[in-house]
Amino acid sequence: MNLGYARVSTTKQDPGRQIDALGAAGIAPERVYAGKKSGAATDRPGLTTLLGYARDGDVIVVHTLDRLGRTVRDTLNLIHPLRGRGIGVRNLADPIRAGSASPEDPMAQLAVVLLALFAQMERPCTLERAAHARAVAAAQGRRTGRPCVVTPSQLVHATQMRPAGHAIAEITAATGLTRSTPCRHLPVREPEPVTAAPVPAGRLACPSCGHQPASRAEIRDHRAELAILRRHLDGGRITEARHCATCQPRDHVVDAACADCGDGPLITGQPPGPGEHPGELALGWLREHGWQTHPELLCPAPAR
């Protein structure tokens, strides 16, 4: 008696094409066993039930031999015990017709090994092509995977609530996001202190005045201020320092912006003057760092 077996790798795939082919081969639907499991999985209920039902003289029919296994070892380890029980295996759609119903036929054994080898070779090639396609899409700025259903306004709202000390449950209730979305998109919150001691120093302490945030809600803004490297005219030289919001200079600021890209340092300590251009000391510092200062300010960008 012929018994059919159809398999697809994921629950979103449909084995209908294989089932139709098995039906066209004369196998009744009640004798067709199906499963939605990867070929590398060892726990396949449909296949397990089929192997337990098959008896001496039966033939297991598959659409292609790789439905039984994705490696040579797995396929042969499955077929060999069946041969000992008098159960054969036959394929329908492979370029090489294979059958194990005749154990003494060397060409049939060779066909089984070759098809199992082709199935094993196909798997890494498929993964390589998929990885290359994802890399090309990422390089072109295209997003792969499911469409994103999270709006930028929801993320902004969640980002504003997180440093204020709100729990994930409160964020999801206010924004309408699922619980996994804030955990995936938002930065990890600083660990809560277990004592009444102030926030520990270290990277949070201002290198200029030693100030550190008094609460967890101030940490984000404090770090943003310390990320800015400020230049200051101090007598006849320019100094560089990082300041927090408490100690940063309140002097007049001159923007030494590149005429091409618009980027450039902010320089404090220079008295206000006509045109708001950097003074000679600031221009000398810019030239030392590769800037062109005449006829206009141009930064040492790699593109030039």
Tell me which residues are annotated as active site: 9
Three-state DSSP class for residue 66: helix
Backbone angles phi, psi at 292, to 5 degrees: -100, 125
User: Which pairs count as long-range contacts for 237-240, CB under 8 Å and 24+ apart, including other chains?
Assistant: 237/281, 238/267, 238/281, 238/282, 238/285
Q: What angle do CA 263, 268, 272 make, to 5 degrees?
A: 100
Helix axes 152-161, 168-175, angle to 10 degrees: 150
Place of tokens 């600021």: 253
Sign of CA dihedral 39, 41, 45, 49: positive
Beta bridge partners of 89: 60
208, 267, 268, 279, 291 from 241: Cα distances, Å: 7, 11, 11, 20, 20
Question: How far is residue 29 CA from its own chain's centroid?
Answer: 41
Number of H helices, E strands in the chain: 9, 8
- Quote the CA–CA distance of 115 and 94 in Å, as a whole number: 8
What secondary structure does DSSP assign to 73-122, as a single string? Answer: HHHHHHHHHHHHTT-EEEESSSSS--B-S-TT-HHHHHHHHHHHHHHHHH
* 125: Cβ contacts below 8 Å, ≥ 6 apart: none
Two tokens, residue 116: 């199992």
